Chain A
Amino acid sequence: MIQRLCVAVAIASFGLVFASLAVGYTEQNSLRPLAESYVRLVPHELGAPNVITGILLTYRGFDTLGEVAVLFMVAASVGLLLGARRRPRGTSTRDRASESRASSEIVRTGADILVPLICIFAAYIIMNGHLSAGGGFQGGAVIASGVLLTLLAFPQYQPNLEFLSITESLAGALFVLVGIAGLVMAGGFLDNRILPLGQFGAFFSAGAIPLLSVLLGVKVGCELSVILERFRPKKS
């Protein structure tokens, strides 16, 4: 009883704080100076129509690199937590494994049709990150959803974890190398002007941004796939 009362008091006080926030909030009528300079600079300096991708991969590219490091750390820690899982005492897991049925015809056929489409859609999202809504993270998540569908439809399917780890490490190393190339050949770390900017709005434009998008997409896709694979119950 006393606990419920405490919870209610806590929620009510948070609600009061939030209510004062919501009441005091007014919509902006124009951009703040920093945002305004980003909106001006990204199309002119970087040649990318999508301002958000320009910020994410160039002006704030270092943050993105840190985020990729966080993802790597998470993949490693999930592997540490679930990889060396000992068999639980008792035989419940083995019973469950032998009882599990194969997936039905509908699921398998659906996966057969959908997985290639999902992969194409992921490639589209990744490659259009500098032109329209999309980018490496989103595309990588779409790739991982395709892998998840495969894992659900074909429980026997065993993704090659070594291949995934090597691809992911290569993509990460290349990402850093592109960043260092920006330091040497252009204005700073992860500067996209190491490649010609090209025509504004064309597919091959905006310097190194499409390259960085692809590397990011491959890396995120591989990492999420490894995490998904780790969550599967182990067969013994």
Chain B
Amino acid sequence: MISQIVLVTGLLLILIGLWGLLSHRNILRIIISFSLIGTGTHIVTVAIGYVRNGTAPIIDRTLDVWGAVSRVVDPIPSALVVTAIVIGMAVTAVMLAFAIRLYDSKKTLSIDAFTDSKW
């Protein structure tokens, strides 16, 4: 049940991001939409790894080595999402750098101004 709610939230975030991507003309808003899609994907990935009544896969006093297999959530999606968050941040940084350069060249952030093709 919990993971279903989380899954639907993530899918909704992806939809909102797609809508923003397609309907906005401002480059910064498009970048925000990309971030939303990325975050939604992360949430969906984590939700898929949930096991019913599972807990975090960290072994401590309340979770012994032998009982861990039946009580933890899937660690692989979590490990993948840790990687994906950092890469998503890096991609956002590159997009923002391009936005700065585009603003420098045309003094506007609307994609309507960037109509000339260079190659």
**A32 close to B (CB within 8 Å):** yes
Tell me which residues across on chain A come within 8 A of B101, comparing CB atoms. 81-82, 85
A window 189-223: CB within 8 A of B: 201, 220
**B15 close to A (CB within 8 Å):** yes
Within the complex, what minimum Cβ distance (angstroms) separates A9 from chain B? 10
Within the complex, what minimum Cβ distance (angstroms) separates B100 from chain A? 6
Chain A residue nearest to B16 in the complex (CB): A11
Q: B56 to A133, Cβ gap below 8 A?
A: yes
Docked Cα-Cα span, A55 to B76, in Å, equals 8
Interface size on A, residues (CB 8 A): 58
Q: A133 to B7, Cβ gap below 8 A?
A: no
**A117 close to B (CB within 8 Å):** no
Within the complex, what minimum Cβ distance (angstroms) separates A25 from chain B? 6
Set B18, B87, B96: member contacting A231, Cβ < 8 A? B96
Interface size on B, residues (CB 8 A): 48
Q: A51 to B51, Cβ gap below 8 A?
A: no
Tell me which residues across on chain A come within 8 A of B7, comparing CB atoms. 21-22, 25
Within the complex, what minimum Cβ distance (angstroms) separates B29 from chain A? 14
User: What are 7 residue pairs bridging A and B, where the CB atoms are less than 8 Å apart in the complex?
Assistant: A11-B15, A11-B18, A22-B4, A51-B57, A51-B68, A71-B87, A231-B96
Interface residues of B (CB under 8 A from A): 1, 3-4, 7-8, 11, 14-15, 18-19, 22-23, 48-52, 56-60, 65, 68-70, 72, 74-76, 78-79, 82-83, 85-87, 89-91, 93-94, 96-98, 100-101, 104
